[in-house]
Structure 1
Amino acid sequence: MGNISVFLDDYRTAPEGYVLTETIDECIELLRNYTIEHLSLDHDLVNKDRNGLMLVEMMVEEKRFANRITIHSANSVGGKAMYNCLKQAQQDSILSPSTIVSLRPLPLKYFPPRVLQHYLDVQ
């Protein structure tokens, strides 16, 4: 299997061409075993104790990243914390400065066409 794109969310459906993961455990397993082209992350998950920020912290600790990372959480506080953690990893030379890290919150019920293009551009 070549590069894959992964969408972590327990509520939204994944864009076409993305592997949907609903838990941080599923997501970290893919990060450990595949080259991830684009990783799009939500903060709030069903398991309130294992959220997107915990995943990002694990990624930094294990130095496992995608070529491009988007934080799509509608939780502004949680999403910003995830984004800031990744940007700090770039400043600390843990995450490559060439990795594009973006904060693009998504509505819960649909993908606006302009935002959806962000996901289609990866393919």
Structure 2
Amino acid sequence: MIHVFLDDYRPCPPGFVAAKSAEECILLLEAEEVDILSLDYDLGWGNPTGLDVVRYIADNGRYPRRIYMHSSSPSGRERMYQVLRSALPPGVHLSHCPMPDSVAAEAAGKRV
């Protein structure tokens, strides 16, 4: 099981696999079981966004166990949240906010 950090600009935190594009993130979701997914919305001018990833997740049922949104775009974050929330299966944690430090430490293999 892996942790995925979708962002084209910010550095990937320890313990996460970096996805620099929506396409990379979708490939990881198809190939791996994902525990934590941290989403950015804007992924570069003219490129697919985090919303495209979210639509893939909802359409294909490839939900990670925990989903956080670290995007600095309030409207993008809200749109992603609403799509995920509308079809959220039981047992999946969805947060409108970035992951807490304790979750990041856990993913990095550090004691909390």
* TM-score, reference length from structure 2: 0.88
Query: 1:44-101, CA deviations, whole angstroms, 9 ceiling, x for partnerless residues?
Result: 01143400011101111111111111111110000011011111112xxxxx221000
Q: What is the identity percentage for the equivalent residue pairs of Structure 1 and Structure 2? A: 35
Q: Secondary structure at the match of 1:121?
A: helix
Runs of 4+ in structure 1 deviating by more than 4 angstroms, as ranges, are: none
Question: Is the contact between residue 38 and residue 98 of structure 2 (CA under 8 Å) also seen in structure 1?
Answer: no
Which structure has more relative contact order (CA 8 Å, sep 6+)? It is: 2
Q: Secondary structure at the match of 2:38?
A: strand
Task: Supply the RMSD in Å over aligned alpha carbons.
Answer: 1.6
Alpha-carbon distance between aligned partners in 2 of 1:57 and 1:49, rounded to the nearest angstrom: 15
Q: Secondary structure at the match of 2:4?
A: strand
Match of 2:39 among 38, 41, 63: 41
Q: Secondary structure at the match of 2:95?
A: strand
Alpha-carbon distance between aligned partners in 2 of 1:118 and 1:43, rounded to the nearest angstrom: 20
Give yes or no for the alignment of 1:101 onto 2:87: no
* TM-score, reference length from structure 1: 0.80
Alpha-carbon distance between aligned partners in 2 of 1:46 and 1:105, rounded to the nearest angstrom: 20
Alpha-carbon distance between aligned partners in 1 of 2:19 and 2:85, rounded to the nearest angstrom: 23
* Residue aligning to 1:118: 103
* Residue aligning to 1:111: none
Identify unmatched segments of 5+ residues in structure 2: none
Q: Secondary structure at the match of 2:8?
A: coil
Identify unmatched segments of 5+ residues in structure 1: 91-95, 107-114
Query: 1:4-56, CA deviations, whole angstroms, 9 ceiling, x for partnerless residues?
Result: 00000001011111001100111111111111010100000114340001110
Letter in 2 for 1:32: E
Alpha-carbon distance between aligned partners in 2 of 1:118 and 1:77, rounded to the nearest angstrom: 24
Match of 2:17 among 19, 42, 45: 19
